[in-house]
Amino acid sequence: MSHGGGSAIRAALGRIDEILDLSRSKLSDVPEKQSTAGERWMKYLGFPAGVAAFLALFYMPTPEGLTTGGQVVIACFAAALVWWVTEPFATYVTSLLLMAMLVFLNGWSEDEVLGVLGYSVIWLNVLAFILSSMLVRTNLAKRIALAMIVRFGRTSKWILAAFFALNLLLAAFIPATAARAAILLPVMLVVASIYGASNRSPNNFGRNLFLQNLQAIDFGSSAYMTGSNANLIAVAFILSMGGSRVYYTDWFFAALPVVVAAMVISWWIGPRFVFRVPAEQQTPVVEGGIERMQEKLREMGPVSTAEKKAAAIFGMVIVLWVTDKLHMSLFGFEISAVMAAFLGAVIALAPKLGLLKWNEADIPWHLMLFSCGAYAGGLALNDTGAARWLVDRLFTALDIQPGVNFWVVYCIVIAINMYSHIFFTSKTMRTLIFIPFVIAIAQNLGFDPLWLALPAAFTIDWVIALPINAKPNIILFATGQYSVLDNLKYGLIMTTVGTILLIAAGFTWFRVLGITPGLP
C-alpha cells in the first residue's frame, strides 16, 4: 500500500478546482495499484494457496449430513476467499471464476448463478451509484462536503468524528445500510479528495475515512432494533423460540453504549495506530486551507436549480426509505428500498426533467460482478445447506454440556457470532442460521434464551471485515481507496474490539439491564 507522498499530493492537487473535480477519478475506472513487497508475495502465493484450499476441501471425505454439492460450494468459496484477500488477480475476476466453478462442478445451477445479477441487492447498488452520480454531477455533493469541511474539517480527526455522528443519526431513520452508503458516498468522495485521497493515489486519511464510515454504517445499525431487517428477524426468533419479547427501548439502551464506545475507539485508534495519518494528511491539501474552502463555498453562490432538483429527487427517495413502515397505510402497497431508489433513478435520468445523462452515471460494473460472485457463493452455501451444516458442526464440536458456567458459554457465543461474519455475505442469512442455534443451546443448557440470544443479536450488524460481507462494503470498496487487505486488517481489529466490548457489557451493563444474569 502507498502511505505517503503528502507533499507530492499537495503539489499535484493543490488547486481546489482540480481537487473537487471528481470526474478525474471515476469509480468505474480501475486504476493500477502500487503494492508493498509483502503484498506482492501474497499475490504470488495466493493463487496456489487458493487452489490448495480448494483441493483439500474438494477431496476430503464428505462428512455426515453435508451434501456433496455443499462440499463443492465450501471448497469453491474457500478458494475464492483466499483469492479475494490475497488478490492474485482482480477481485471481480475471482468472482467470475467462483461463479464458473460453481456451475462446472455442479455446486449451484447455471440459472441460479446467472440469476444473481438480477437480485435486488445488485440493483440497489447500481441505483445507488446513479443517485450518487446525480449528486456529484449537480455539485450538491461538493456543496455539502465543503459545508461539512468548513464546519468540522479543520483537522482530519474532527471530520472523521462528524461522519461517525452523522452515521449514528442516519441509522435511526434509514434501516437500509446500502441506502446510507449511497447518501454519504459522494460527500465522502469530495472530502477524501480535499484531504488528498483518490483512487489513483489513496492515502491513509482516505483509508480511515472510508473504512470508518463502513464500520459506522454497518455496526451503527446495531444501536437500533430497526437498524436492519436482520435485527427484527432476530427479535422475532427470540420471541417465537425463546419466549421473550424485546422492545425497542430494551435494544436501544443495551446496544447504544456499545456502539458509541466502538465508534469512539475506532475513531481514536484508526488514524493513530491502524492507518497512521501523517501530519500532512491531517489538514486539507488545498492551498489556503479552510479559508480557501470557505471562499470556494461562497463562490458557489446560492443553491442552483439543478442542486434543488437533485435535493428534491434524493429527498423523495430518502423520505420513501424512512417511511417504509407507513407505505401500506398510505399507498396500499410497500415500496421497497430498491424500488424507492428505482423511482429516484428514473427521474434523475428522465429527459428534460432529469439531471443526468446515461454516460454521466458512474457505475463501477466491475464491482457489480464482484458482488455477484460474492452473493452467488454465499447463497450457494445457504441453498445447499452447507452454511447451516458448518454452524451445526461448530457448535457440536464445542461440545457444550449442561452444567457449564454461563459466562464461558456467553464468551464463546459472542466470539463465534462476531467472527463468523467473515464467511457470510448476508446478515439475514447469518441471523437465520445462528440465532436459532444460540436459542437452542441456551435451552439445552437451562439458561434463559434471552441471556444469550439478545447479545448474540447485537453482533449481527458487525459485518466489517471484508468487502463481500455486506452491501455498503461493496459500495465503498468501489471507491478504490483501500484494498481488501486494508479492510480485513481494520475489520479484524474492530471485530476484536467489538467482541471485548460486548463481553464486557455482558458482565456489567447488560446485567444492570437484566439482559444477562447476576443482579437481582
88 scored as a contact of other proteins (CB under 8 A): yes
Residue 364 CB, shortest distance to other proteins, in Å, is: 22
Q: Distance (Å, rounded) from C-alpha 25 to C-alpha 44?
A: 28
Nearer to other proteins, 46 or 491 (CB): 46
Please check whether residue 80 is in contact with residue 378, taking contact to mean a CB–CB distance below 8 angstroms.
Answer: no
The owner of cell 474490539 is 497
Length, in residues, of the chain: 520
Distance CA 181, CA 474 (A): 10
Q: How far is the CB of 376 from other proteins (least distance, A)?
A: 16
Among 186, 220, 227, 436, binds other proteins (CB under 8 A): 436
Site string for other proteins, 173-202 (x = CB under 8 A): ------------------------------
Query: Using CA atoms, how far apart are residues 144 and 272, in angstroms rounded to an integer?
Result: 27
Residues 6 or more apart from 457 whose CB is under 8 A from it?
231, 234, 235, 238, 431, 435
SS3 label, residue 43: helix
**Closest residue by Cα to residue 452 from 515, 405, 397:** 515
User: Minimum distance from CB of 188 to other proteins (Å)?
Assistant: 27
Stretch that binds other proteins, among 10-18, 65-73, 196-204, 408-416 (CB under 8 A): 65-73
| Helix residue spans in 174-242 (DSSP H) | 177-194, 204-220, 229-240
Part in contact with other proteins (CB under 8 A); list of ranges 64-72, 217-225, 398-406, 478-486: 64-72
Complex with other proteins: residue 52 or 96, whichever CB lies closer: 52
Asked if 62 is part of the footprint of other proteins (rule: CB under 8 A), the reply reads yes
Site for other proteins in 437-476 (CB under 8 A): 437
Could you give phi then psi for residue 403, rounded to 5 degrees? 105, -15
Residue 119 binds other proteins (CB under 8 A)? no
Angle CA 96–101–107, to nearest 5? 125
The footprint of other proteins on residues 99-118 (CB under 8 A) is: 105-106
Query: For residues 401-420, which are near other proteins according to CB under 8 A?
Result: none
Binding mask 235-254 for other proteins (x = CB under 8 A): --x---x-------------
Residues 256, 261: Cα–Cα separation, whole Å: 8
Given the complex with other proteins, which of 54 and 92 has the nearer CB atom? 54
The one among 8, 55, 312, 408 contacting other proteins by CB under 8 A: 55
Binding mask 13-32 for other proteins (x = CB under 8 A): -------------------x
Roughly how many angstroms between the first and final C-alpha of the chain, as a whole number? Answer: 53
d(CA 255, CA 236): 17
358 binds other proteins (CB under 8 A): no
CA distance 375 to 371: 6
Binding mask 208-237 for other proteins (x = CB under 8 A): -----------------------------x
Stretch that binds other proteins, among 435-443, 472-480, 490-498, 502-510 (CB under 8 A): 435-443
403's torsion region: left (phi>0), alpha (psi -120 to 50) or beta? left
12 scored as a contact of other proteins (CB under 8 A): no
Helix or strand (DSSP H, E) at 33: none
Closer residue to other proteins in complex, CB, 431/495 = 431
SS3 358: helix
Do residues 482 and 213 lie in contact, with contact meaning Cβ atoms separated by under 8 Å?
no
Give yes or no for a contact between 215 and 266, defined as CB atoms under 8 angstroms apart.
yes
Nearest distance in Å: CB 223, other proteins: 25
Q: Between residues 106 and 396, which has the closer beta carbon with respect to other proteins?
A: 106
**CB closer to other proteins out of 92 and 434:** 434
SS3 for 426-448 is CHHHHHHHHHHHHHHHHHHHCCC
> Of the ranges 199-207, 381-389, 459-467, 498-506, which one interacts with other proteins (CB under 8 A)?
381-389
Q: For residues 467 and 484, is the Cβ–Cβ distance under 8 A?
A: yes
Q: What's the min distance (Å) between Cβ of 108 and other proteins? A: 9
Give the Cα-Cα-Cα angle 21, 23, 25 (nearest 5 degrees): 100
Q: Which of 16, 19, 25, 69 binds other proteins (CB under 8 A)?
A: 69
For other proteins, the closer of residues 49 and 306 by Cβ is 49
Residues that bind other proteins (CB under 8 A): 32, 34-35, 37, 40-41, 43-44, 47-48, 51-52, 54-55, 58-59, 61-62, 64-69, 88, 105-106, 237, 241, 382, 384-385, 388, 429, 432-433, 435-437
